[in-house]
Amino acid sequence: MAERIGFLGPGLMGKGIVKNLLKAGYPVMVFAHRDGLKLEDLQQGGATVTRSLADLGAKNSIVCLCVPSSKEVEAAVLGDGGLLGSMQPGSVVIDFSTSYPASTRTLYEQLKKKQVALLDSPMTGTPVHANAGELNLMIGGDKPVYDRCLPVFRAVAKNIFHVGPSTHGNVVKLVNNFLGQVSNAAVAEALPLAVKAGVDLQALFDVVKVSGGNSRVWEGAVPAICQRNFAVTFELRLAHKDMGYMSTLGRELNVPLPMTNSLLNVLDMAKASGLGRENTNALVKMYEKILGVEVRGMEKPKA
């Protein structure tokens, strides 16, 4: 018999996950984590909708969370009428959010006292990958619980990694996001400089693409910026949140993170300048405004 799945957070990424769970035959109950989410398509696909977090916990053997931060995860688990008080012994919480490891550790211990398991299962990918069932998952938690939930993960992801005990999924995700956002910040800093210097952007793109400065971020971000394509796949405010978690984790472990903290300063400025709700590649707009330039020049960049 298929596990009954509750899902909190059917938003930009979560909606695709729910669609693929339904496609795989799982009974899914959804709970909107914010006002304004349109759920008619999920209902037409077979999902039920609840406005009761307690029902979400009591009526499902697995509850998935896909919300912006640890603040929302903690509220869902520990808040009044939350999952801690409603989930049955033997059930599982899967947190697809990128959460702060210390928060995950606390929730893991609190839920374990109630005989409820927790897997931290942050993801990489875009809404396109979520809709296609091709996410990448890095999962921390007890191996027997991971094994039990593996069919659920296979329904929504292409690459699935059990990376260690509880919290390790979130640590791996923060390291990955740091590396990606450092590359994004470098692109945002370098392109306006090239424009100011009068360099041909197609030539710059072609040289870097076959040289040591190349990256997946370079190959994706440069054509998008040159076409002024800032469609939201990952909001800058969420990158800022993740780098804040990374910086705090470094202090918690007494590990110096000078590049993380420099990146966080850049994202502080971008967020303060009003770019928080824009896509991460819109960071370039901050430098464009300072320099009085705009990164264009490749009408249809050859990727």
Segment 88-135, tens digit of pLDDT: 999 999 999 999 999 999 999 999 999 999 999 999 999 999 999 999
The reply to whether 162 and 188 lie within a common domain is: no
Measured between alpha carbons, how far is 181 from 151 in angstroms, rounded to an integer? 31
**If pLDDT is split at 50, 70 and 90, which confidence band does 301 have?**
very low
The reply to whether 151 and 254 lie within a common domain is: no
The reply to whether 37 and 146 lie within a common domain is: yes
Asked whether residue 251 is assigned to any structural domain, the reply reads yes
Q: For residue 255, what are the domain limits?
A: 171-291
pLDDT tens sequence across 24-48: 999 999 999 887 888 999 999 999 9
Tokens coding 44: 């037409």
CATH number at residue 31: 3.40.50.720
Measured between alpha carbons, how far is 60 from 149 in angstroms, rounded to an integer? 14
Q: Please say which residue of 138, 166, 194 terminates a domain.
A: 166
- pTM for this predicted structure: 0.94
- Could you tell me whether strands 62-65 and 92-95 are parallel, antiparallel, or unpaired per DSSP bridges? parallel
- Report whether 271 contacts 237 (CB < 8 A): yes
Asked whether residue 297 is assigned to any structural domain, the reply reads no
CATH number at residue 207: 1.10.1040.10
Total domain count, the chain: 2
